[in-house]
Structure 1
Amino acid sequence: MLASAWTKMAGAIGRLSSHPDGRTALANTVALVILSNQPFYPLYLRWAVSPVIWPSFLTFLSTPLFLAAPLLARRSALLGRGVMLAAGIGNTLLCIAAFGAASGVAVFLFPCLILSMLLFMPERRGLALGFAALCFAILLAPIEQFIEPLHHYTADEYAAFQRLNLLSAASLTALIGWVFARERAKSPRDA
């Protein structure tokens, strides 16, 4: 019975992430992976950083956007990809505001930069460069001068925060590369 339920759920997730356009399938897969990991983020923080996890609940504001991206992609592949990337950039900006720059959470802008190029180049060069420019603007902005973190962690906790975010962003970047390579292998080779 339980195996049947898992099989049905896996099938539903597979159908939701699939799309005839490989770049949209990539965006859908990334959105669903992030969506599935969001509920565990407070637990990761509790385990790796600090028992003070309440600022992480702010990250759930982006959850509906990550869920909406694959659904919107059914109507418009371009819209679905754009919403997924906007959700990623917005969630990162929200986390920078919640935790502060010292948390190292801005490292999640690097997978967003990569996605900017993979999801929109070469046909939608303006969108790719616009999303990339937004990522760079956030990286360069002195956000900590304008927004106070919701909680100040200790220096050791911030070091642990940076390790956690670096590992998470690196894992997400590797996943993006793996899914892109898988989708690329399905499509005809360029001449």
Structure 2
Amino acid sequence: MKSLFAALSRYIAHDDPLTFALNKVAMVLAGNTPFYPLYLWAVLGRDAAPSILLTLCSFPFWAVVPAIARRNGLAGRLVLTVVGVLNTVWCSAVLGFASGTALFLIPCVLLGTLGFHQRERIVSLAIAALPFIAYGVLRFSTWVPLKRYSGAEYSSLITLNGFSVACLVGFLGIAFASARPTRAT
């Protein structure tokens, strides 16, 4: 087990503290992705199984972020944010806007604003606009989810997704704080 953690530590390592922090975020997202369908199954029941498995599609994209970041830190951080937005749009298309999956655009805004250095501000502003555009598309689209759920099921999904977003935002705060230089007071 130690060798697995050592290999993972080497995989996410980066000289830039901000890129290193976002590599950690990518690995946490990759590690949690397989559990999301289980949470959905617990809330929606086994009848939802075919469509909820589609939420696994983002796993390889989260997992490849550190490899991309090793070649180019900016590219890795961009990919993480874009994959977050695309995954949110995808899950919203699968489960429906009423599921509350669009709440995951909130951490995407944080990735787009806090995940870049001051010298990358123009890139940051451009990438931070993506979650807002995605929200507009999701909110006003006429996409029909693969399966419609009851009001009670959608309420449970909103609770699940809202809690998940809160946990992710908290983790992002910790990750970003670890990447910032500290000053003695």
TM-score, normalised on structure 1? 0.89
1:145 equivalent in structure 2: 141
- Which of 13, 19, 26 is the matching residue for 1:18? 13
- Given the alignment of the two structures, is residue 173 of structure 1 paired with residue 169 of structure 2, yes or no? yes
Say if 1:104 and 1:165, in contact at 8 Å, map to a contact too: yes
Q: Displacement, 1:144? A: 5.9
Identify unmatched segments of 5+ residues in structure 2.
none
1:37 equivalent in structure 2: 32
Q: Displacement, 1:41? A: 1.0
Of stretches 99-108 and 134-143 in structure 1, the one that deviates more from structure 2 is: 134-143
Q: Name the CA shift for 1:143/1:150 in 2 (closer, same or farther; >3 Å).
A: farther
Equivalent position amino acid for 1:130 in 2: A
CA RMSD in angstroms, aligned pairs only: 1.7
- Which of 137, 152, 155 is the matching residue for 2:151? 155
Say if 1:59 and 1:95, in contact at 8 Å, map to a contact too: yes
- Given the alignment of the two structures, is residue 96 of structure 1 paired with residue 92 of structure 2, yes or no? yes
What do the CA deviations read for 1:145-183 (whole angstroms, capped 9, x no partner)? Answer: 331101101111100000000111111110010111122
Counting matched residue pairs gives 183
Which SS does the other structure have where 1:153 is aligned? Answer: coil
Q: Name the CA shift for 1:143/1:54 in 2 (closer, same or farther; >3 Å).
A: farther
Equivalent position amino acid for 2:27 in 1: L
- Given the alignment of the two structures, is residue 64 of structure 1 paired with residue 53 of structure 2, yes or no? no
What do the CA deviations read for 1:9-44 (whole angstroms, capped 9, x no partner)? Answer: 111222222211111112111110010111111111
Equivalent position amino acid for 1:86 in 2: V
What do the CA deviations read for 1:49-100 (whole angstroms, capped 9, x no partner)? Answer: 4331322222222222111110011110011111111111110010111111
Q: Name the CA shift for 1:163/1:18 in 2 (closer, same or farther; >3 Å).
A: same
TM-score, normalised on structure 2? 0.92
Of stretches 156-165 and 175-184 in structure 1, the one that deviates more from structure 2 is: 175-184
Say if 1:50 and 1:157, in contact at 8 Å, map to a contact too: no
Q: Name the CA shift for 1:179/1:96 in 2 (closer, same or farther; >3 Å).
A: same
Once the two structures are aligned, what percentage of the paired residues are identical? 37
Say if 2:13 and 2:20, in contact at 8 Å, map to a contact too: yes
- Given the alignment of the two structures, is residue 75 of structure 1 paired with residue 71 of structure 2, yes or no? yes
Cα distance in 2 for partners of 1:37, 1:77 equals 23
Identify unmatched segments of 5+ residues in structure 1.
1-5
What do the CA deviations read for 1:105-152 (whole angstroms, capped 9, x no partner)? Answer: 001000010111111242111221112211111112255633110110
Equivalent position amino acid for 2:166 in 1: A
